[in-house]
Amino acid sequence: MKKLYYLYSLLLLSVFSYTCKDPTEDFTIQIEPNIFKYQVQVQISEVRGAQLPANMTVTILGPDAEAIYSSDGTKQYAVNSGLVSLAVNPKVNIDANQTLQFNVLITSPNMLDVNIPVTITSNQHAKVLPVEVLNLANLSTPSTGFPPIAFQKPEVPVTNGTTTTDVSIGTTTQVEIPAGTVMRDETGVIIGATKLNSVLVTLNPNDATAMELFPGGSMASNNVLDENNQIVSGVFNPSGLAFVELNAGGVAVKTFSKPVEIDMPVTATGGTLSIYSYDVKEGQWQYETDVPVVNGRVSFTTTHLTAFAAVIFTRITGGLCSEAGFTLNGNYVTGVDYPVTIDVMSASGDVIMKSIAIVNSENRTIVISNFPATAGTSVRFFNGAGVLLGSAAAGTTSCQNVTAVPVTFPASTKVTMRLYVQCPGTTTNIEVIPTFFLYYSESTDPSNYILLGIVTKGYLSTTALSPSKVYNFKATWNQYTKIVPNKTVKADNETTVGEGLDLGKNPESNLDLLTQACQDNL
């Protein structure tokens, strides 16, 4: 396993304290794991609020993938409670004129695979990447119409990977395969199987939740192959979206010997739409053809399978902004971190992209990567509870200027927490001063965790919590996750996270958070 072994050796610092009572008393190990200058927290959610798919695998791809590690210093990217902690190799420097680019590929047998491009600039030290996925295990087949999410899994017989008659698959999205069509895998090898299994997922662009599954996590892209086979940038305005996956004998079908016809519903009532396909492994869109809208549907032929979008594509000359800055000016409380959800909106009111950032009185500027600076674009800023803090128009000059945005944070009591960790099963006092992401949820809704902030040197101050109210907490550090349910907070107290404890002043208690990390480091 590839690992940055030097990291932890630099982190261990022993402090000996001798007294006349006992020379071994108060032996303390202090650990300061904040050695990564740039960190990315991938926050995976099931788009309908259902259980996350099982057996999710994370792969880092792209030009700067070699610089990306798990925050424990390895190249093993584990998903823990829907969270993936990534960090940039501390030997890698990002200067003001440079960006770090990579892709996060998340796959599972029970979901539509996703590939999210990530860009880190020199001033983005802590980045939160929200990713929505669709668990196929508990989806039901729609009855009729054009629902937000339509799902079907029809099966048809084949002979040695070849259709012997014309085959029609699906109803919402329909796939017509002519007789004598040979199925091939991604290498072009014929798949000799006796049964063809299919997964057809159709999304309605009029449903905002469904559109959170738009491939690439954003309707803006720098990686679009146009009709002239040139890479261009632009923004998609989708009217229809269908994911078409077939497998024969457990092997994914990627190409056909004959063109197959795909017929899918769209929200447009007339006119012409462009069909683009999406290569999830490469994270690239490709122009296919233009088609007329007939009775709320479009039809086209293809020899390969993937996600297909029927769209109006607006090209952006010069590409997307590598970064656009927005300074939030408002009623900050000193020392408090404010997690902010950002919606970038199109002129038609669609959400082009979402992101999460953290601001405070000392660092009020939010940087949005790959920003579509087009006429009519706007940005809205919300707190973790969904309250609108402020908004701003963001036209074609957003790349050159930092936009000032007046915001109003809801008034609340400041709560300060200090989080300790001790290794159980030993008399040694172990003080861990971690830097990690902390989430919370209302006790009545334990599944809906919201980012609270980043615990730095053991401390976090917030106005998102109400003193004397009961919450659930989820902390992640390296590949470890700790959930602490039903805890009460107090205003401005040193606080402890551990099982069987209140969030109160009790630093000597036996804690479970980061227990495994303690064992690894001792």
Q: What is the pLDDT of residue 27?
A: 34
Q: What is the pLDDT of residue 48?
A: 87
321-406 shares its CATH topology with 415-521: yes
The mean pLDDT of 282-296, rounded to a whole number, is 96
The mean pLDDT of 51-73, rounded to a whole number, is 92
Tell me if residue 448 falls in helix, strand or coil. coil
User: Buried b / exposed e across 279-291, counting CB within 10 Å, b at 16+?
Assistant: bbeebbbbbbeeb
pLDDT over 90 (residue 437): no
DSSP H or E run through 184: strand 183-184
> What DSSP line would sit under 404-446, residue for residue?
EEE--PPP---EEEE-----TT-SSEEEE---EEEEEEETT-T
pLDDT over 70 (residue 31): no
pLDDT over 70 (residue 446): no
pLDDT digits (tens, 9 = 90+) for 65-88: 999 998 878 899 989 888 998 999
The mean pLDDT of 207-223, rounded to a whole number, is 94
Write down the architecture of domain 321-406 according to CATH: Sandwich (2.60)
Q: List the one residue out of 399, 348, 392 whose CA is nearest residue 373.
A: 399
Q: Which two tokens stand for residue 465?
A: 């919590």
Share of the chain above pLDDT 90, in %: 43
Q: Which two tokens stand for residue 3?
A: 């690992």
Q: What is the pLDDT of residue 141?
A: 66
Q: How confident is the model at residue 178 (pLDDT cuts 50, 70, 90)?
A: very high
Q: Which two tokens stand for residue 88?
A: 């940039």
Write the CB contacts of 24 (distance below 8 Å, at least 6 apart in sequence). Answer: none
The mean pLDDT of 124-137, rounded to a whole number, is 89
Give the number of C-alpha atoms closer than 13 A to the C-alpha of residue 344, restricted to the C-beta side: 27
pLDDT digits (tens, 9 = 90+) for 326-345: 999 999 998 898 999 999 99
Q: List the one residue out of 203, 211, 303 whose CA is nearest residue 254.
A: 303
How buried is residue 434: exposed, middle or buried, by Cβ count under 10 Å (0-12/13-18/19+)?
buried
The mean pLDDT of 123-131, rounded to a whole number, is 87
Enumerate the domain spans of the chain. 41-133, 139-315, 321-406, 415-521
pLDDT over 70 (residue 500): no
pLDDT over 90 (residue 417): no
Give the domain 139-315 fold. Chondroitinase Ac; Chain A, domain 3 (2.60.220)
Q: What is the pLDDT of residue 204?
A: 94
The pair phi, psi for residue 171, each rounded to 5°, is -125, -55
Give the domain 41-133 fold. Immunoglobulin-like (2.60.40)
d(CA 408, CA 106): 36
Q: Between 341 and 433, whose confidence is greater?
A: 341
Global pTM reads 0.83
Q: What is the pLDDT of residue 394?
A: 85
Classify residue 216 as left (phi > 0), alpha (psi -120 to 50) or beta: left
Q: List the one residue out of 31, 39, 131, 29 whose CA is nearest residue 436.
A: 39
Q: List the one residue out of 34, 84, 92 whose CA is nearest residue 60.
A: 84
Q: What is the pLDDT of residue 399?
A: 80
121-130, 232-241, 421-430 — which one is most confidently predicted on average?
232-241
Give the number of C-alpha atoms closer than 13 A to the C-alpha of residue 164, restricted to the C-beta side: 8
Give the domain 415-521 fold. Immunoglobulin-like (2.60.40)
Provide the β-strand partners of residue 80.
83
- Average of per-residue pLDDT values in the chain: 81
pLDDT over 80 (residue 192): yes
Q: What is the pLDDT of residue 144?
A: 65
The mean pLDDT of 219-248, rounded to a whole number, is 94
Q: What is the pLDDT of residue 428?
A: 47
